[in-house]
Amino acid sequence: MNQPTTVVPKPWNTAMPLPKGHALTHRGCVRPANEDAILADPAGILWAVADGMGGHEGGAMAADLVVDSLAAIRDDAPPAEALEAAIETANARVREAAAARGARTMGATVVALFIQGGIAHVAWAGDSRAYLMRGRRLRMLTHDHTLVQDMVDRGELARDAAEGHPEAHIITRAVGAADEIEVDHSAVPLLAGDRLLLCSDGLPRCVYESVIAQLTAEGPDAKAAAEALVRRALDEGAPDNVSVIVVDLVAG
């Protein structure tokens, strides 16, 4: 009788994919100044786009305050709680700055990405967006806080009519707009080969989503994809500031 043999299977490669990204911001073709601010973590863990409003000085200040608050998050912090706390801190700081300046309108939209444990945690307020590209399929991870999106959600407006609507720029939620800020969250497990895109509304405002998907898919790396997206927005006239962050998940 043959002696039983124990076979120990080789372990699966459980290494988490490594984030490698590239961030760009441009004032566009019409605006005299850039009110956007971006956060690009050299470690690849934390990324954000903030789109300021309230005039170029007030808007730029608001966006900078949002990014500064997010930059203080520790790498080992609980992602959803840390993102929400940082945005709430930014909300208070923006309102304090607005009061000190006597500004009636000063704020910023924000979308932030925190990658931890192979999961992308996204938090946002306003109409800055996050997308996930897996294969060649682009999926939006955020949901715009705008008057037009509310109309679509209620069935009062077709989605196809939303992009060119004259009130498409009216947002319903922003950092600094009220004493308290409601922050939305989403989370998605990541795979090697995934590509994440964060952007201010200056990109989808002048580039169709189908074209965004094409350019995001075709870029050989994060830098090339980000540059192609900003270049296309500028080619289309870029009436607003344009900020783009592309993050690739590379096999470890």
For residue range 189-221, list pLDDT tens digits in order: 999 999 999 999 999 999 999 999 999 999 999
pTM across the whole model:
0.90
185 has pLDDT over 80: yes
Q: What is the CATH number of the domain that holds 172?
A: 3.60.40.10
For residue range 133-174, list pLDDT tens digits in order: 999 999 999 999 988 777 877 777 766 666 666 666 789 999
DSSP calls for 144-185: --BHHHHHHHTTSS-HHHHTT-TTTT-BS--BTSSSS---EE
Domain contains 12: no
Radius of gyration, CA atoms only, the chain = 20
**Residues, the chain:** 252
Domains identified in the chain, total number:
1
For residue range 110-139, list pLDDT tens digits in order: 999 999 999 999 999 999 999 999 999 999
Domain contains 225: yes
102 SS3 class: coil
Which amino acid would we find at residue 72? A
Question: In this structure, what token pair is assigned to residue 71?
Answer: 């930059």
Which residue range(s) make up the domain with 59?
18-250
Assess contact for 73 and 62: CB atoms under 8 A.
Answer: no
Of 37, 45, 46, the closest CA to residue 65 belongs to 37
Which amino acid would we find at residue 141? L
Domain contains 6: no
